[in-house]
């Protein structure tokens, strides 16, 4: 393993770590924790197996990093704070039938696998809390203090999780093949119902 002993150039280290994370998310989402082997993850990323150990220590470490990075990897509503129409648009794209061809399933499913590991459970909770915050940020109603509004944002996260689970496990039609265009109107209605009317844009 000559590769592994030579330190990679610094500008390649971040890219290698990123490639391993992406490959890990794909495998863990499609095949679960037990069905994923580090050898295949390394092969998918086109790097030496030893680099997983270097960057993530172990399979568990790789799984934890994959979970922790999932909310940002979904490219969710985080990028469009305060724009209600864009929030509805982002969610309808994320939850449409063909949104994740490279995963085979919606990557949020990775967060739902029962682990029994308390540290992993805490990471999964943190990832869903991150989604909830992204939704509140994107809702155009400002930051959240009221527990009812937090519950309402969590119900929107639950809707997304439910769509992913039903599509994966049951394939109910017309939900299974719903396009972003079909989802946008209903999701916009749910967002408005749960989060209330959009507030006036703040100048500046």
Tell me which residues touch its own copies (CB under 8 A). Answer: 111-114, 121, 124-125, 128-129, 132, 147-148, 150-152, 154-155, 157-163, 165-166, 169-172, 174-175, 178, 182-183, 185-187, 189-190, 192-194
- Work out how close the CB of 128 gets to its own copies at its nearest, in angstroms, rounded to a whole number: 5
- Work out how close the CB of 150 gets to its own copies at its nearest, in angstroms, rounded to a whole number: 6
Residue of 184, 168, 138, 133 whose CA lies nearest to 154: 133
**Cβ closest to its own copies, residue 4 vs residue 182:** 182
**Cβ closest to its own copies, residue 146 vs residue 200:** 146
How far apart CA 37 and CA 184 sit, in angstroms, is 38
- Work out how close the CB of 4 gets to its own copies at its nearest, in angstroms, rounded to a whole number: 36
Residue of 87, 115, 103, 7 whose CA lies nearest to 55: 7
């Amino acid at each position: 393993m000559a590769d592994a002993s030579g330190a990679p150039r610094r500008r390649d280290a971040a890219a290698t770590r990123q490639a391993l994370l992406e490959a890990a998310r794909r495998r863990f989402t499609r095949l679960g924790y037990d069905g994923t082997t580090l050898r295949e993850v390394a092969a998918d990323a086109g790097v030496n197996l030893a680099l997983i150990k270097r960057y993530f220590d172990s399979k568990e470490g790789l799984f934890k990093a994959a979970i922790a990075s999932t909310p940002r990897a979904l490219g969710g509503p985080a990028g469009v704070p305060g724009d209600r129409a864009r929030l509805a648009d982002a969610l309808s794209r994320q939850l449409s039938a063909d949104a994740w061809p490279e995963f085979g399933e919606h990557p949020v499913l990775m967060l739902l696998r029962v682990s029994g590991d308390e540290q992993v459970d805490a990471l999964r909770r943190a990832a869903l809390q991150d989604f909830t915050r992204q939704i509140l940020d994107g809702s155009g109603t400002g930051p959240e203090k009221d527990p009812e509004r937090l519950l309402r944002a969590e119900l929107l996260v639950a809707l997304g999780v439910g769509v992913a689970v039903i599509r994966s496990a049951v394939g109910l039609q017309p939900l299974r093949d719903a396009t972003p265009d079909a989802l946008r109107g209903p999701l916009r209605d749910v967002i408005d119902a749960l989060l209330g009317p959009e507030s006036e844009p703040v100048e500046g």
